[in-house]
Chains A and B, each alone.
Chain A
């Protein structure tokens, strides 16, 4: 066990401490850390009330058959009591193995995985490429950077509508494709092209974040490392492979993790691009929303069950990812 000094307070911590009674230890812990706890108290309150309590409540709902017809509600002056009842694990069983489970869950599940992998790869590769270009001494790079960040600066719901105009049947993209003799797909109607369009729009929206983060990472790499590599006769590729990539590792692991989480949960792009019209292009998040709020009667219980499944997938992924980083001798990113 290491002995470290808490530098904010100058107190020793860790190390062998004499054992005391639990009450005394509690009091001592309180005296030692009360300001730390006081400072995180607001967040604990916010997360507890706004996240953990709803989560517990949502988990409970997944074991019931709640929908908008049997939940407590107020119609005019009449208050109607909730009448939904406990049905155990039936919701999960129905989603995972029930009839038409493939259409309702597994097809969306596979598409969600493909969507996440494709988008994050494209975000990262394009973002890294642009960051490398912007990290050179180049005339006008500030201007380039300002322009390239634009898709991030403008709110997603605005740009998605812009894309909708462009992707419409005889919108500008199809006109352009037509004029150079390429086929003009039905971007917003055909299920393959819907998916293609969704990935394209999301890539466009997500690249600037990667680019800015990786550019920051590139700038923090010590330039003497490059000089040393150059002295050793490393060519450009070798410098990239053995200096740049390792130097970016901690930034990369963080932004990739965030990118996976954000893309997996990306709601706005697909919801606004297609609305209710594209059952095949719905990822699990938008599909769950559809069940809970986009249809009548609203199926609260199934929607919440999808949510819990989504969350479990993400938690499993994050744990595996962190373990993988740990094994590669890396500091956990978060």
Chain B
């Protein structure tokens, strides 16, 4: 991502500076202001980067107590931790369950949220305000409210310790937010497009599927990303509802390093890095659309 966007951004940044008239005005700060901005941003970037960089660094140290003596790591960096995690632990099982759960949530969540977002964006039906209110209220359900009854219900349905149960649970968190996000995005698509579709004889569903969905791709990407990230990063439900260690998602699996082999922090760091890499990659794939999608949801009431 960074390699493709940087070269194009740099000349654009340089152009106004070169053409800047001597007059000092908006958007053209003095050298001091510019330096301060850079300094603050560099400090902030350092703060943002350091914990993750530190984790990567620790994951290279061979010994379990290396995190206390980071100086030692330099002399003997090794990828052994990664080999160990990939071959000797349940890493591949965890990867499979994480992918099944999070992709399942993403697909179901986005599909369901898209139709809703469109309906509340385009149509004013009786019960509209109440419905939006319910969507908002579901956003703020603390895990504690639903945990106990969901546990009971899932165990009655024999869905405890199953992927499907967890996907359903995650949908209840992801869907309302995505629906609201997509409503904001659909609001930015001109109504004339719907009207044109209707005039050409499409049904409301046809308009939605053939005209609006393709136009809303950035919004859909953000919604997909949100569902994915929610499902990957969720801890409370996964910890409670997944019982067998081959079905753990990463969020639960990582904790098992603490309880089982308390001291094996180097493997934990390596696992953490291995988890962070694909998720961050996914993140940077959609981040281009992130600002657009989020603010479309945010600026439109």
Residues on A close to B: CB < 8 A? Answer: 4, 6-10, 13, 29, 33, 35-37, 39-40, 42-44, 46-47, 50-51, 53-55, 57-58, 61, 71, 129-130, 133-134, 136-144, 146-159, 161-163, 165-166, 168, 170-172, 175, 204, 208, 212-213, 215-217, 219-220, 226-227, 230, 239, 250-251, 254-255, 258, 261, 264-265, 267-268, 271-272, 275, 284-285, 288-289, 292-293, 300, 303-304, 306-308, 310-311, 314-315, 318, 331-334
Contact = CB atoms under 8 A, between A and B. Distances in A.
B134 interface: yes
B13 A138 contact: yes
A334 B111 CA distance: 21
Candidate in B10, B144, B152, B198 with the most chain A CB atoms within 10 angstroms: B144
A216 B2 contact: no
Main secondary structure of the interface of B (DSSP, over half): helix
B298 A255 contact: yes
B41 interface: yes
24 contacts: A8-B204, A29-B126, A39-B115, A39-B205, A61-B149, A133-B40, A137-B13, A137-B16, A138-B34, A139-B10, A140-B13, A142-B9, A151-B48, A159-B51, A175-B70, A265-B142, A285-B142, A293-B147, A304-B144, A311-B142, A314-B142, A315-B137, A318-B140, A332-B301
Contact of A292 (B41, B136, B147): B147
Nearest first, the 8 A-B pairs at minimum CB distance are A216-B295, A307-B145, A288-B144, A8-B122, A153-B283, A39-B119, A307-B144, A331-B301
B165 to A, nearest CB: 10
A210 to B, nearest CB: 11
Contacts of A212: 290-291, 294
Interface of B: 1-2, 5-6, 9-10, 13-14, 16-17, 25-29, 34, 37-38, 40-41, 44-45, 47-49, 51-52, 54-55, 58, 67-68, 70, 111-113, 115-116, 118-120, 122-126, 131-132, 134-150, 152-153, 168-169, 171-172, 175-176, 179-180, 191, 194-195, 198, 203-205, 207-208, 229, 232-236, 239-240, 250-251, 254-255, 258, 265, 268-269, 272, 275-276, 279-280, 283-284, 287, 290-292, 294-295, 297-299, 301
B131 A40 contact: yes
Given A39-B116, A285-B143, A289-B236, A7 B51 contact: no
A160 to B, nearest CB: 9
B254 A158 contact: yes
Candidate in A9, A39, A133, A204 with the most chain B CB atoms within 10 angstroms: A39
A9 B204 contact: yes
A138 B13 CA distance: 6
A251 B295 contact: yes
Given A55-B145, A161-B55, A239-B26, 19 more contacts: A43-B115, A53-B149, A54-B150, A140-B6, A141-B13, A142-B2, A149-B287, A150-B52, A153-B283, A153-B287, A170-B68, A171-B67, A204-B48, A217-B295, A288-B142, A288-B144, A303-B148, A307-B142, A315-B137
Contacts of A153: 279-280, 283-284, 287
Contacts of B38: 138
Given A40-B131, A137-B13, A268-B233, A161 B254 contact: yes
B299 A13 contact: no
B146 A155 contact: no
A165 B254 CA distance: 14
Contact of B280 (A150, A157, A175): A150
B140 A146 contact: no
Contacts of B51: 151, 159, 162-163, 166, 204
Nearest to A149: B287
Contacts of A264: 140, 142
A148 to B, nearest CB: 5
A212 to B, nearest CB: 6
B295 to A, nearest CB: 3
B141 A230 contact: no
B233 A157 contact: yes
B144 A271 contact: no
B10 A144 contact: no
Contacts of B140: 261, 264-265, 311, 314-315, 318
A213 B13 contact: no
A133 B37 contact: yes
A202 to B, nearest CB: 13
A149 to B, nearest CB: 6
Given A230-B25, A318-B140, A333-B301, A159 B116 contact: no
A293 B153 CA distance: 16
A175 B71 CA distance: 11
B276 A155 contact: yes
Contacts of A35: 119, 123, 203-205
Nearest to B133: A334
Contact of B233 (A155, A161, A162, A165): A155
B272 A162 contact: yes
B119 A36 contact: yes
Nearest to A303: B148
Contacts of B298: 213, 216-217, 250-251, 254-255
Nearest to B131: A40
